[in-house]
Amino acid sequence: MAEAHQAVAFQFTVTPDGIDLRLSHEALKQIYLSGLHSWKKKFIRFKNGIITGVYPASPSSWLIVVVGVMSTMYAKIDPSLGIIAKINRTLDTTVQGCGHCMSSQTKNVVSGILFGTGLWVALIVTMRYSLKVLLSYHGWMFAQHGKMSRATKIWMSVVKIFSGRKPMLYSFQTSLPRLPVPAVKDTVNRYLESVKPLMKESDFKRMTVLAEDFAVSLGPKLQWYLKLKSWWATNYVSDWWEEYIYLRGRGPLMVNSNYYAMDLLYILPTQIQAARAGNAIHAILLYRRRLDREEIKPIFLLGSTVPLCSAQWERMFNTSRIPGEETDTIQHIRDSKHIAVFHKGRYFKVWLYHDGRLLTPREIEQQMQRILDDPSEPQPGEAKLAALTAGERVPWAKCRQAYFGRGKNKQSLDAVEKAAFFVTLDETEQGYRKEDPDASMDSYAKSLLHGRCFDRWFDKSFTFIVFKNGKIGMNAEHSWADAPIVAHLWEYVLATDSFQLGYAEDGHCKGDPNPNIPYPTRLQWDIPEECQEVIETSLNSANILANDVDFYSFPFHTFGKGLIKKCRTSPDAFVQLALQLAHYQDMGKFCLTYEASMTRLFREGRTETVRSCTTESCNFVLAMVDPTQTVEQRLKLFKIASEKHQHLYRLAMTGSGIDRHLFCLYVVSKYLAVDSPFLKEVLSEPWRLSTSQTPQQQVELFDLERNPEYVSSGGGFGPVADDGYGVSYILVGENLISFHISSKFSSPETDSHRFGKYLKQAMTDIISLFGSSANSRK
């Protein structure tokens, strides 16, 4: 069917003189419009490149500076302190040497323009360097909450002066400071402080000897090389982090690395699968258009004063991870005009433009419905092909090289890997159900995390999933960016779908179908039996991994950050201490805890670890389980632990964390082929409690006072350690916190639902301290 629609576009005959190609009027029109669209995008990129290149100045400011210089010249004032005269003489010599002549007035104009341009460039460089120096100051972050010093207020005013007006997404990139390299002794001391509550006294003494020896012997040598790298690299951590933590990992991406995002918790705007796909895909493409035009505003802290790095947005679309035997690579192309769609074991290519414009939601719905109605069967090996992306990387890399390097297999694989993104029209129904909330949310989470192991293309930057009942979600690959970047896209998609695009009364997308749009193209494969055997092997290993995931995803309604803030404490610190209390009650011991923080205050910054299990948090937890402790004593210890956690979080954000520095020192030691018992032991320590908060970044898109039911479910990830927990949470509005807890059934020590029960109790127990304290004062 699809081939028949494509065939009318062109005809060709083979003659003795060669191939006689005859294009139809419609085909010529589409080629012309496609070329026009490409040139328009190139022009926009060129224009944005100039605007970003001269920021914090503007292109028009060049004219102001040049006119100002020329005006002073005509007023017989030399603003250049003799530089213009020198340019004049140089022009005179150059022109005479070429055998030409130039009038005195022309030379003055040219000299004035050249000096004005040079002055303008010098001003831009000065403003950028000044802004970089200003943004290197982070004292404001350590100030007491709600109190701002006069010095900080003056600093904010100066930053705003140098920040320019109407910044685009990448405007601040060259003005962001570089991530500083902490002193080795500081990092070692912080490390020892972090592990002291987790080690026996004898083990801690042994580790102290190793650490102190490292700090005075091998450490300074490794630090010298790391400092050297920090001077020439944009970021001394990020390239190694991407390569060694993500791309060189040979285990499955599914569960171990990829993460997911959920739909709105309670709202289902339509139950028509194709319609929900139409609106959501169109919203994703609107976001991509804004990204291409750099119309997305940079993310700021401290109001609109301190910008965060935007580098991770660059590879959001048109990106795929390519497997290799030793290391993977990230393939990113400049533009893609199609998406790849999977349904019932078949792959389709869907063009996103028609008549030189983006398809409307109704037209995309029409294309999705055509795929849903397509009765064709999968080709041999096609149905479970994506299991290759779910299993071990080496078999997939060898298989790709052997069977997908030529012919129709290469063409079809290119269509998938070079698509804007990947779409799965899932055959199951998912989402929150009131009659069985726990089972429904657990099923929903597992479906987004791994599905059936062959219906998500885990190598794509993200797979957009539309379920049979209209619920949606996303599975994202981790190497190209961190969760807040995907969350920013996802917030926009959910808000645009709900509040901008909407649906007709019958549940379909607004607008009319367009019968002139060509049908989706069915991708063709020729997969030999040897390759099918590899697919089955990968699927079997992926199924074992997926079936071992124990998930508990639930909304916590008892209270939210609104009540926590009334207690004058950090919501994140509150949740982290609740996690520590829950873990101790679940396991009867403390463990090394990972909380993801960001370092995007610096150029190309990604993440840093906050070691949430501290001596202070352990003291608080022990007080909570000690019946002899009073409420006042527990509350005092809670505040001390909370302040300690906030201090560690701020240190991590400002480049004084522990783990990325030690990681890079370890990489340097490997390059130099020297062995460090200290670093080897540090990097082998397991994170048995790995946590992450999903931030809400565009709160203006959701008016929760008017629409309280439009709350997000957040997202989650798989367990990091075989005998540990992975916990993701999002604080939604003032009254809801959504939790996603993962572990493995194969571990006799863990149970996600049991941990969730302890977590709910810990949250309630901690908040009751504040109520009891208030009552006791009465």
What digits encode the pLDDT tens for the residues 724-758? Answer: 999 999 999 999 999 999 999 999 999 999 999 99
Q: What value does the mean pLDDT take over residues 400-408?
A: 96
Closest CA to 260 of 429, 440, 487: 487
* Domain co-membership, 457 together with 311: yes
Q: Crossing angle of helices 104-135/83-97, nearest 10°? A: 130
* Domain co-membership, 256 together with 114: no
Q: What value does the mean pLDDT take over residues 592-604?
A: 97
Q: What is the chain's alpha carbon radius of gyration, rounded to the nearest angstrom?
A: 30
Q: 478, 583, 645, 740: which is the annotated catalytic residue?
A: 478
Q: How confident is the model at residue 101 (pLDDT cuts 50, 70, 90)?
A: low
Q: Per residue in 2-35, is it b (16+ CB within 10 Å) or e — as a string?
A: beeeeeeeeeeeeeeeeeeeeeeeeeeebeeeee
Write the CA distances from 286 to 263, 295, 299, 703, 778, integer angstroms.
18, 11, 19, 21, 56
Q: Which of 494, 524, 550 is the last residue of a domain?
A: 550
Return the minimum-mean-pLDDT range out of 17-26, 286-295, 667-676. Answer: 17-26
pLDDT: is 27 or 746 the higher one? 746
Q: Please check whether residue 124 is in contact with residue 54, taking contact to mean a CB–CB distance below 8 angstroms.
A: yes
* Domain co-membership, 461 together with 417: yes
Assigned domain for 2 exists: no
Closest CA to 579 of 327, 325, 759, 765: 759
Q: What value does the mean pLDDT take over residues 152-164?
A: 90
* Domain co-membership, 715 together with 701: yes
Q: What pLDDT, on a 0 to 100 scale, did the predictor assign at position 143?
A: 83
Q: Count the helices and strands in the chain (H runs, E runs).
A: 25, 22
* Domain co-membership, 491 together with 582: no
* Domain co-membership, 437 together with 456: yes
Assigned domain for 147 exists: no
* Domain co-membership, 508 together with 580: no
Q: Please check whether residue 318 is in contact with residue 335, taking contact to mean a CB–CB distance below 8 angstroms.
A: yes
For the record, the structure tokens of 398 come out as: 């060898």
Assigned domain for 179 exists: no
For the record, the structure tokens of 596 come out as: 């993801």
Q: What value does the mean pLDDT take over residues 84-106?
A: 71
pLDDT tens sequence across 217-235: 999 999 999 999 999 999 9
* Domain co-membership, 694 together with 624: yes
* Domain co-membership, 639 together with 546: no
* Domain co-membership, 107 together with 197: no
Range of the domain at 26: 10-42
Tell me which amino acid residue 286 is. Answer: L
Return the minimum-mean-pLDDT range out of 67-71, 155-159, 601-605, 634-638. Answer: 67-71
Assigned domain for 738 exists: yes
User: CA–CA separation, 559 vs 705, rounded Å?
Assistant: 16
* Domain co-membership, 394 together with 274: yes
Assigned domain for 47 exists: no
Q: Indicate which CATH number applies to the domain containing 509.
A: 3.30.559.70
Q: Which of 550, 575, 599 is the last residue of a domain?
A: 550
Question: pTM of this prediction?
Answer: 0.91
Is 770 in a helix, a strand, or coil? helix
* Domain co-membership, 674 together with 690: no
Q: What pLDDT, on a 0 to 100 scale, did the predictor assign at position 88?
A: 78
What percent of the chain lies above the pLDDT cut of 70? Answer: 93
Assigned domain for 482 exists: yes
Please list the residues that pair with 332 across neighbouring strands.
319
Active site residue 478: yes
Number of domains the chain contains: 5
Assigned domain for 4 exists: no
